[in-house]
Chains A and B, each alone.
Chain A
Amino acid sequence: MGISAFDALIAADQKIEQKDWMPDGYRASLIRQIAQHAHSEIMGMQPEAAWISRAPSLARKAVLIAKVQDEAGHGLYLYAVAETLGARREDLLDALHEGRQKYLSFINYPTLTWADVGALAWLTDGAAVVNQVSLCRTSFGPYARALVRICREESFHHRQGFDLLHTLSRGTPEQRQSLQEAVDRWWQPALAMFGPPDSKSTHSAASMAWRIKRASNDELRQRFVDLCVPQAKALGVRLPDPALRWNAERGHHDFTPPDYDELMRVVAGHGPRNRQRLAHRRRAHEEGAWVREAAAAHAAKHAAAPGTAAQHASAQEDAAEWPLWEVFVRPRRGVSHVHAGSLQAPDATVAMHSARDLYTRREEGVSLWVVPSRSMAASDPEHKDAYFEPAAGKPYRHASFYPPPEGVEGL
């Protein structure tokens, strides 16, 4: 397989898979985008996690924990996708911690009140849904599949945020005021999530040609604004844009685009909370090092089972890095285990615990297999023709090749 086969697959709107040949630029673009997406998921936990301890009802507390947990899960699905492209999670995290790779700018704003928790979810998860629903049709198979799972969960995030705000909108005058103020704070950062305008976007053209991206920044931003306007009405809040109005000619709302200079400043590290968010993330990673090292050391001591950290230690430069495992879930009794995704674990016991938490927390399964990724053998895409095409010329293997004579039954 080479460039012509790759181009043919893209042109036919087929998926590119892990072992397929792909241009270096395609691989690099994907890794850049997926890493930034994964970083945004895990960095995005912080503004909301800050409110778990103070959630004003136990029901809301549970919802918020579940949501923040999902974002960690999204990060995991996405880092696993990056691994299929040959990018190690540890290297991507280093790039995040050292500021070499970016995450979405809205995360660098503070959540000042409980209403911010709702506004953040309604607007930024809402923007993420618009963005990611479009991305579900991305040309890279593992990314597309992860996005399908993520989108299902994001719509829960979006809905619960709206529900939280809707409750405030029917509450006390103070609650209604905090609702309006929070929406005022989050509108611009949410609009900025779609990135720079198409005319200034540096990576968009190539990503569109390769069908990594399926819609432009400005198209998606417009779609988002059109969706928000009636929802804002239902909440009884004013969206903070005097220029916002329906344009019958275009069939869309006109609106003031976000301030791109501010977006660029915040992405470059000069937003209100960049410093604290990154420092928090780095600290958690550093303070966790002894735990990761301990588990790897324990696995090395008890390295009887295949796939333990020790077996792979030689191949890994970082002693604390855990090997990758593939997870298979039996959705219900009577059907086969299906590949769900992957995760990192020092050994089979921890892999099984994590698989249960990560891939079955919404009742997706009744049985689990975990297999060290390195123990999996896969057919080579180079051999696709030799392996699978010969099966095509043998229609006599199928019952349909033998039409029964008129009137004969039971065949």
Chain B
Amino acid sequence: MTPGSSHARDTVAETVAPHASAPDFSRSSFRLLIESSADGVLVVNLVGDVLYANPAAAEIFGKPLDVLLHVPLGRPVVSGDTAEITVHRQGGKPAQVEMRVVDIHWDGRQALLASLRDISVRRAEDERLRQSQKMEAVGRLAAGIVHDINNLLAVVTSGLRLLEKEIDRDPASPKINQLIEGMLERAQNGGALTQQLLAFSRRQPLSPEAVDLNQRISALTQMLERTLGRGVETRCVLDPALSPIHIDANQLDVAILNLAVNARDAMAGKGTLIIETSNATEDAETDSGSFVRVSIRDTGCGMSEDVLAQVFEPFFTTKGENEGTGLGLSQVYGFISQSGGHVRIDSAVGEGTAVHLLLPKKAKTEI
């Protein structure tokens, strides 16, 4: 501190910390506060010469205090509250600094007090935080996939029980083969799910194939009935004239399974699930001639607009810790968009929900 500036310090004290709120705030303790502040403090005259610098400011600039004093730094200006500047230090890394500026009087003249906060560390921490958030997301995704695989296992388990009964009833029943086929498909779905985890870090290419959607849905629902529970009636309304589509069949099964499980949860075990297919007819927004539509309707609790606005976000869930992962609809959305299709949801609280998937008849060429 330069001699003769004690009166000026006093002025700073008045500006920064009014006596009213700190009656015992003496000059020396104010000085101590400034000198030991973690923020850099500079007093600069209107021409831009440094009149005072605290040790933290000297550290930010990487210069001894006496060198920093009277350096023609420039008049600090901000717009709004702060400005972000880069401080360059000889032989060192540049520092990102957040600067605030207030008008003060110093030795009876107008001057500027600039407080400087080194945010380089904060920036680096932000970066680390982003990284760990991504790792957390991978972990949660893994949890979500475990949850989905559990769904599949439940489907397979109930299928095996059905099979057991069927064999007891009639060992030559044609239903036996159907059940085995169905369970084999579920096992494949499980494989597809683990691929999702890999796809999180590197985008997994989809492998679209020609799919008979009606057949696919019939096979799925047979398995679904047990999983959804006795209270849920499942009805299929399948358009026999449905055009074939090109899509990744495994991911499509996973998507419909996700939607069916959501419907079950929304109906709390009691209600009707309707799966409907048709050739898409009227839809202004899309080139409707080239899509087929699958609608999954439930008679469940429905969604508020607020919930509806967020459902596609990964990890958005209104369900409890061990019930929801918030990954179901984000899988549906991600997969359908990646396939060149569209997802629409009609829902209102108390009125049930309909999720419409518009699936392209032709495969999207580059995915």
A and B: bona fide binding partners:
no
- Give B residues with C-beta under 8 Å from A: none
- Give A residues with C-beta under 8 Å from B: none
